[in-house]
Structure 1
Amino acid sequence: MTANPKGSRDHVDRLRDQWAREVPDLDTFPMAVLGRIYRISNLVRPSIEGTFAGFGLDRGEFDVIATLRRSGPPYRLTPTELYTSLMISSGGLTHRLVRLEKAGLIHREPSPEDGRSTIVELTAEGRARTEKAFRADMADEADFLAGLMPAERQALEGLLRRLHLEIEKRLSRDD
């Protein structure tokens, strides 16, 4: 049985108990952390996607317009800058750009520096919708964290940041 200071048990505790019974010599502690991160992500995903759908966007489309919005005025990036930032293929980006352009949230124009390339710019409607969707998303996500005290949220943020940086460093060494 896995230790739990408050006595409440969750799905990951039950999985670890099953593995402890079946493979008692294996330390399943990594599941206690990474399994919970994965499970939490899966649990909140439908709500986040529902928020974006309320603004006529899917999560991938929101990622594109949010990247443009975060870039600051004039809210313009090249497709290469976008797909590199989003860590997606150029083909995946093209599909999103077509849908966003049809919706009037972005427009594309030839690059003045390179006639073979384009510039993707957020429209005024795109800026407004991005901000509204982001505000709604942050309110929704804040509700998920409401069960934690402010100090607990800060501690969790710091630990997750440290874990994130350590994993990135480890993975970059493996390249």
Structure 2
Amino acid sequence: MMDGTEGNGDRPEDKGRPSEDHVDRLRRQWTLELPDLDTEPMAILGRAFRLSNLVRPSIEATFADFGLDRGEFDVIATLRRSGPPYRLTPTDMYSALMISSGGLTHRLDRLEKAGLICREKSPRDGRSVLVALTEAGAALAEKAFRTDMASESSFLQALDGQEREALAALLRKLIAGIENDQPRGESEAG
């Protein structure tokens, strides 16, 4: 029975099977309303969207604890993971972050005021600017990322190591297939 009243394991065949989730309920409702429509994409993409919505508040709260919003963290994280000397051109940054140059400028202004980044003239071309991570910015990016990974790890406790690897492999395959079908530049994320 899929009315949400039975818990996990009420029937012998349900042992080890998760109980109905939000997406199951949505699919069941759509099946009643549009029985000719296959809602299988919701089983995967709907769950991916739901998962993102469920964990987003925790991720945002983690960054807020460090005085950052998600966009500001993305900037300093992009610089930190670029490796020494932790400098990028604004063009490289807004391309990696998939935001407009104006959106990046606004973030850079806030981060510069906070002392987390600085803008430097390019040694190769005096007309160009590089965005550099300060020591304080590098330390904050690392600390915030470590805290975020610990928090996100807690969400994965329902899966054992093999299940995590299998899920990661399937998601990688799905994303690669979608990215390969999109025009270049539309498939980058965080």
Query: Structure 1: any 5+ residue segments left out of the alignment?
Result: none
Task: Establish whether residue 80 from structure 1 lines up as the match of residue 91 from structure 2.
Answer: yes
Correspondence 1:98-117 to 2 at 5 A: 98-117=109-128
Query: Structure 2: any 5+ residue segments left out of the alignment?
Result: 3-12
C-alpha distance in 2 between matches for 1:131 and 1:71: 13
Residue 91 (structure 1) aligns with: 102
Question: Which one has a larger percent helix, Structure 1 or Structure 2?
Answer: 1
* Cα offset, 1:151, TM superposition: 0.5
- Could you give the per-residue CA deviations for residues 31-65 of structure 1, whole angstroms, max 9, x where no partner exists? 00000000100110000000000001000000000
Task: Establish whether residue 59 from structure 1 lines up as the match of residue 79 from structure 2.
Answer: no
C-alpha distance in 1 between matches for 2:89 and 2:124: 11
DSSP-derived class of the 2:119 partner? strand
Q: Number of matched residues?
A: 173
Residue 159 (structure 1) aligns with: 170
C-alpha distance in 1 between matches for 2:142 and 2:21: 35
CA-based RMSD of the aligned residues comes to: 1.8
* Cα offset, 1:115, TM superposition: 2.9
Residue 49 (structure 2) aligns with: 38
The worse-fitting range, judged by mean Cα deviation, of 145-154 and 115-124 is 115-124
Residue 6 (structure 2) aligns with: none
- Could you give the per-residue CA deviations for residues 12-36 of structure 1, whole angstroms, max 9, x where no partner exists? 0000000000000110000000000
| 1:169 aligned to which of 180, 185, 190 | 180
DSSP-derived class of the 1:73 partner? coil
- Could you give the per-residue CA deviations for residues 63-116 of structure 1, whole angstroms, max 9, x where no partner exists? 000000001000000100100111110000000000000000000012222333
DSSP-derived class of the 1:172 partner? coil
DSSP-derived class of the 1:107 partner? strand
> So what's the TM-score if we normalise by structure 2?
0.87
Residue 150 (structure 1) aligns with: 161
* Cα offset, 1:172, TM superposition: 3.0
Residue 71 (structure 1) aligns with: 82
C-alpha distance in 1 between matches for 2:108 and 2:31: 48
* Cα offset, 1:147, TM superposition: 1.1
| Aligned partner letter, 2:29 | Q
List structure 1 runs of 4+ shifted beyond 4 angstroms. none
The alignment-based identity, stated in percent, is 69
C-alpha distance in 1 between matches for 2:183 and 2:109: 33
Correspondence 1:11-50 to 2 at 5 A: 11-50=22-61
